[in-house]
Structure 1
Amino acid sequence: MSYESRATASIIGLAVGDAFGSQFLLPGDHPAILGRRTPPGPWSWSDDTEMACSVYSVLDRYGRIDQDALAASFAGHMDPDRGYGSGVERRLLRLRAGEHWRDVAAQGGGSWGNGGAMRVAPLGAWLADDLGVVIDQAARSAEITHAHPDGIAGAVAVALAAALASTRLELGPAGLLDEVLRHLPAGEVRQRVRLARDLPGDTDVRDAAGRLGNGREVSALDTVPLSLWLAAWHLDAYADALWQAVRVAEDVDTVCAITGGIIAARTGSAAIPADWRAATEPFPGWADVR
């Protein structure tokens, strides 16, 4: 696939994962999940997809992350009804009021939430031919709202996974996570991804979530490792990965968005169930996803 088609497949996988996950209020082994009964449509996506559309749109316009343009897009297109976290919503409202994103993002040491990670898989797919560029641009995309080192590292990890999944088709689950680790900066996120690398694929997903986190804390540390583990062990099985995610994830739309964005970067959008795509809300016209 070309870089544009990789990125388009990734953002479709992200949006469908986000919208699918949003149909499940709580994780668990209840009959609807164990029986894999697809929820009735239509499915709306959340802030995960809205912000990913800004990343995609800025890449389409500039071929890179122009941070001022991305900050303006985040602030200008924010719909509070999409489920934004209170901290990010406050930051974006301050940008709308005229404050500079650097001043806002740096306060309090920056956010370590999972918001930088949830929206970045299409960037990894778009820039996948140069991992150094992926790392740099993923960090730049994250620091507008999530300037804490963990928030940035989570975004870098997801972007690397999407880049590798889309271009290194020979990599199996352990190999993909090894490559992510090889390029990931030192820190707590890397340590938790290392733990994910060492969990076998036949580990019960409930045990994996207990060890890696399930998004309850809405942090990069608590969300990204499980998402990468699910994606790595389901590289060609989009629906299976998301059904596993909804069994355990508490920030379920975000775990599904990250996981779906990585897998679709590899498989293309044809691997996404057709009825899931049909149920998912269309992209906004301003994003120009094509």
Structure 2
Amino acid sequence: MIADRRARAAASLRGLAVGDAIGSCFFVPDNVPALRERRLPPDPWYWTDDAEMACSVFAVIDRHDRIDQDALAASFAKHHDFDRGYGPGVNRMLRLIRQEGGDWRQLAAESWDGRGSWGNGAAMRVAPLGAWFADDVERTVAEAKLSAEVTHTHPEGVAGAIAVAAAAALAASVPSVHEAEFLRLVADVAPPGLVRDGIENAIRLIHLDDPRSAAASLGNGREISAPDTVPFCLWVASKHLDDYVAAFWDTAIVGGDIDTNCAIVGGIVTTRLGVEDIPTEWQTRCEPLPTWAGIGS
């Protein structure tokens, strides 16, 4: 297990980006047979908005040792690349911040007719935060909430981020734990609601071996919501905390929001063992992370 928090967070970011990049390839119809056979898709492997936003989370924490919401919103807007697959709501929000000086607080609060987004976007980018604050789960929860609120103000969107960050923190800090106990520890810090209910259901399904059976009940991210995404991702991560490759394939094989699911699971698992658990070939073939993230290629 990795002792240094910056090294943990950097490893989590790399694991997130590799999962994101390979997972995104399986949206290409020609690559579906490879997915069914658990074979790697052909190059190129480009990461998406999942990794791009996670780079901002890492960079802001690395600079401030906390989530500075204004700095995070500014980084999201500055590095926003429309072609990375952002959702329409976030595309609009970041464009308004960057081009018109929009107030992120107002824009986030007004989204979805004032209900705020409960999408999986805050959860997909947060694992490096959990890795950074792994020695303090209470701090992890507080900082994850701050990180989510910049784009996701709905309680379920925030809960998804808290659950993933807590899972990453626990993966790094708990030496050995049964799958159900791991999920119980996450559920205990997740706010009440659909995300936590989903994690409770994941605990009841921990005896299953087939990820497709679990996803049939927990969801696979097809709805792009935190409740439909996070419980399944945590179910997979709990079963493969010591095996990045197995975690990746059990996540990808169920379909749905594959790149986001693989980003979440990859970010959690590498918090525990580091990038050494990611095959060298996978790392080499994946698009390098941007230099502005501050961790090198």
Q: Percent identity of the aligned residues?
A: 55
- Could you tell me which runs of 5 or more consecutive residues in structure 1 were left unpaired when the two chains were aligned: none
Distance of aligned partners of 1:124 and 1:232 in 2 relative to their CA distance in 1, 3 Å threshold: same
Confirm or deny: 8 A CA contact 1:230 1:245 kept in the other structure: yes
More displaced stretch, 217-226 vs 197-206: 197-206
1:174 aligns with 2:180: yes
2:287: which partner in 1? 281
1:195-274 matched pairs, under 5 angstroms:
195-274=201-280
CA distance in 2, matches of 1:122, 1:184: 18
Confirm or deny: 8 A CA contact 2:179 2:206 kept in the other structure: no
1:1-290 matched pairs, under 5 angstroms:
1=2, 2-25=4-27, 31-96=33-98, 97-107=100-110, 108-290=114-296
- 1:131 positional shift: 0.9
Confirm or deny: 8 A CA contact 2:211 2:250 kept in the other structure: yes
CA distance in 2, matches of 1:241, 1:249: 14
CA distance in 2, matches of 1:105, 1:205: 34
More displaced stretch, 67-76 vs 29-38: 29-38
TM-score between the two structures when normalised by the length of structure 2 = 0.94
Residue deviations 1:13-37 (CA, integer Å, cap 9, x gap): 000000010110179x964234322
Distance of aligned partners of 1:143 and 1:3 in 2 relative to their CA distance in 1, 3 Å threshold: same
CA distance in 2, matches of 1:135, 1:250: 27
- 1:202 positional shift: 3.1
CA distance in 2, matches of 1:34, 1:236: 23
Residue deviations 1:51-83 (CA, integer Å, cap 9, x gap): 000000000100000000000000110000000
Q: How many residues align?
A: 289
CA distance in 2, matches of 1:249, 1:172: 26
Amino acid at match of 2:216: G
CA distance in 2, matches of 1:253, 1:185: 25
Ranges of 4+ aligned residues in structure 1 off by more than 3 Å? none
- 1:201 positional shift: 4.3
Confirm or deny: 8 A CA contact 1:201 1:233 kept in the other structure: no
Residue deviations 1:74-120 (CA, integer Å, cap 9, x gap): 01100000000011111111211111111111112210000000000
The Cα RMSD (Å) is 1.4
More displaced stretch, 171-180 vs 252-261: 171-180
TM-score between the two structures when normalised by the length of structure 1 = 0.96
